Chain A
Amino acid sequence: MSLIYTEFIKLKNTFALWLTILGALFVPFILFATYLSDVRAFVPGHGVNPWDDFLVRILNGCCFFSVGFILLIIGLIVHVEHKANAWKHLFTLPISRGKIYLGKLAVIFAMVIGFFILYLSLSVVVGITLGYAVQDLGFSKFPVPGLHLLRFVTEFLIAILPMVFLQFWLSFRFRNLITSLSIGLGGLMIGLLLKSWEYIIYMPYAAPFQMLNYTEAYAASHQGLNLLNAVYTVLLAVLSYYDFTKRLQWGAA
C-alpha cells in the first residue's frame, strides 16, 4: 500500500491529475452546451426515450476522446520518473522490481477507472440537469439507464486493456514522452481510419473504435473479440513485466 500511496504523492502538482478531471469534463460539457444551444433539435418524439440518443453520443464520445486522454495520463504518470531520473533511485531501495511495476500499474488503473467513473457520472448529471432545466427534452420522464452504462464501461475497459499495457510498456521504454505518445496516437489514428478492415481487430489501438454505436447486442456479437483482447492482455502484461524486471538496464539510463 505504501508504494501506491507514494505514487499518488508523486502526482501532486502534476498535469496528470488535472487531465483526469478536465478530460472527463470535456465531452459532457460539450454535450450540455450543444443541447442547450439548440433545444428544439433534441426534443424527442412522443414516447421516445431521450437517453438512448444521449447515450449514443456519450459513449461514442468515450470511444473517440477518452482513449487519447488515457494515453496522455499513462505517459505523464510514467514520465514523472523519467523526468526526475528516479528509476535508478527506486531500484536501489529494498523493494522488488516487480512490486514497483505493479505499484505503477495500479496507479494507472486507478486513474483510468477514476476517469471513466467521473466521465460517466458527469454524463448522467448532465442528462438529469438537462431534464430539469428543459422539461421538453424528456430526460426526467425516463429512468437513467445505469445498467447499460455499467455494461458499456465494463466491456470498454476490457477492450482497452491491451492498449493500456502496451502504452505503459512504451512509456517506460522511451524516456521521451513525445515518442511514446506519438506511437500511441498514431496507433489510434490507424485504428480509426481502418476501423472497418477485418484484420484491424488484431491491433490493440483499434479496439475502442470497434465499440462505436454500442448496443446491448454488442457483447453477444463480439465474444471472439473479447477473447482476443484477453489473450493480448495476458501476453502484453507478461512481456512488459519481464522487460521491466529483467531486461531493462536501468543503470545505463
Chain B
Amino acid sequence: MIDENELAIETSDLSFSFSKDRPVVSGLNLQIPKGSIYGFLGPNGAGKTTTIRLLLDLLPANSGVIKVFGKFLRDQRSHILARTGALIETPSLYEHLTGLDNLKITAKLRSIGHDGVWEVLEMVGLGTEAAKYVKNYSLGMKQRLGLATALLSRPDLLILDEPTNGLDPNGIIEIRELLRELNVKHHVTILVSSHLLSEVERLVSHVGIIGQGKMLFQGPLKALQQISRDKAIIEIDTDDNSRALEILLGDHQPVVKVAQFLEVQYVEGDRVAQLITLLTAAGLRINRAQLVESSLEETFLSIIKDDHL
C-alpha cells in the first residue's frame, strides 16, 4: 500500500454506468504515485476513457471518491484542474483558426502569457507551423497541438488518452521522449492510456490494467515483468520422456505439464543446464531443451483474457 501523500491520483470504489444494467466502471481503485508515468491499459471498451472522464469531472461518478494531489475532486475541482493538463482522445481544435490562435484561446483562459504559448509550440515541434490553419495540419500535427494545449499550464499532472493515435513511428518516439523529459526534468506525473502495452512499455514506470470496468492488475512495471518471468517454462524432449518424468519428480523439479514433451517451471538462471546435466547423467538423450519465456505483451493479454473468461 502506497502512502496517500505520495499519490497523485487515488480513487476508491469508483463506479459509473450510463444505464443501470451496464456498468462501465465498477469499484475501481486507482493508485497513481506522484512522479510516475502510469500506463493505463485495457482493450477497447474496457472503461479507460470513461475513467479518465471521471477523473476530469466530465462525468459524475455514481459512487466512489476521487482524490487528486490529496484533495477531493468534488470539493476542489478548479484547484485540481488548474494543475492538470489533459488530452482526451481526438484533440479539441478549432480547424478554422491557426495553431497559434488555438493555443491563445486556452492560454487566455488559463491566464498564460504569449511566451508560454511559443514555449509549448517549440516543445512539440510546431514553432514553424504556428501560423498555419489547423484544417491544413496532418493528423500527427493535430495530435501535437493537442498535447501543446495540455502542456500550456505547465501541469503537475498530465492525463493523456491514447496520445499517439495517428502518429507515425517517428512521431511516437518523439512524443515518448517528450513525456519522459517532462517526467524526469519537470517531475510531471503522467497518466497515459493505451490499448497496447507495447506502445507504452518503454515509457511507463507503473501499470494499471483494466477490463470490463474493473482493475485487473496494478503496480510497478517491474511487478508485471516478474509475473511474466514467473510464467516462463523449460520444454524438454528426451528419447524416454516417461523415465525423464520419474527422474525430474524424484529430484523435486516443478513439472507443470506432461504431453509430447515435458514442461518444467523456470525458476532461476542456470536451471536449463541443471536439468540437462541431471537427465544426461541418468543416460537419457536430450532431443530438445528450450526456455520459453512469456513476453510482457503475452502476460498483459493473458490478464485481460482471464477476465473475459
Q: Chain A: residues with CB nearer than 8 A to chain B?
A: 2-3, 5-6, 9-10, 12-14, 80, 83-96, 249-252
Contact = CB atoms under 8 A, between A and B. Distances in A.
17 contacts: A6-B109, A9-B97, A9-B101, A10-B94, A84-B92, A89-B92, A90-B92, A92-B57, A92-B58, A92-B81, A92-B88, A93-B81, A94-B82, A94-B110, A249-B60, A250-B59, A251-B54
A91 B109 contact: no
A226 B91 CA distance: 45
A218 to B, nearest CB: 41
B111 A2 contact: yes
B94 A251 contact: no
A95 B58 CA distance: 13
A65 to B, nearest CB: 26
B238 interface: no
B56 interface: yes
Nearest to A100: B109
B78 A94 contact: yes
B105 A92 contact: no
A84 B57 CA distance: 20
Contacts of A96: 78
B50 A93 contact: no
Nearest to B104: A9
Interface of B: 18, 50, 53-54, 56-60, 77-79, 81-82, 84, 86, 88, 90-97, 101, 104-106, 108-111, 149
A14 B94 CA distance: 11
B105 A88 contact: no
B59 A251 contact: yes
Contact of A251 (B50, B93, B95): B50
Contact of A252 (B18, B56, B88): B18
Q: Which of B79, B81, B93, B94 has the most CB of A within 10 A?
A: B94
A78 to B, nearest CB: 13
B152 to A, nearest CB: 10
A93 B58 contact: no
Contacts of B59: 249-252
Contacts of B106: 89, 93
A86 B109 contact: no
A243 B149 CA distance: 28
